[in-house]
Amino acid sequence: SSIIRGGLEICRCISEEKTSVLVHCSDGWDRTSQLTSLSMLLLDPYYRTLNGFTVLVDKEWCAFGHMFSKRNAGSAGPKQSSPIFLQWIDAVWQIFRQIPAAFEFNNSFLEIVAERAYCPYTYS
């Protein structure tokens, strides 16, 4: 996917070329979080732990201001809805499928994260 290719390019610049990378996509909300969080997950094994993954989602998605309710076809309507977070979860899952031993969690955990993002009021 283009998300994985973008994340890999960021990783290449940082790890091989030893350069800093500025990531800012057109609106600054959606693709930016996808790319930064995926590259961090690839570069730092801490983010592939349960605690690290939680920190990553909190830092790069929640604290960054991702508009979950608008993107998840909430009250904003279909014009602003887009499965941005779910696309990122899918990219993480694709990487997990290739190297599961590198992760402390499994696909069931990713399913729970996706369900909570799209149905936040179904859990206590």
Cite the active site residues.
Answer: 25
- Give the DSSP letter of residue 16: T
**Dihedral-angle region of residue 18 (phi above 0 means left; psi in -120 to 50 means alpha; beta otherwise):** left
- Three-state secondary structure call for residue 64: coil
Backbone angles phi, psi at 23, to 5 degrees: -115, 115
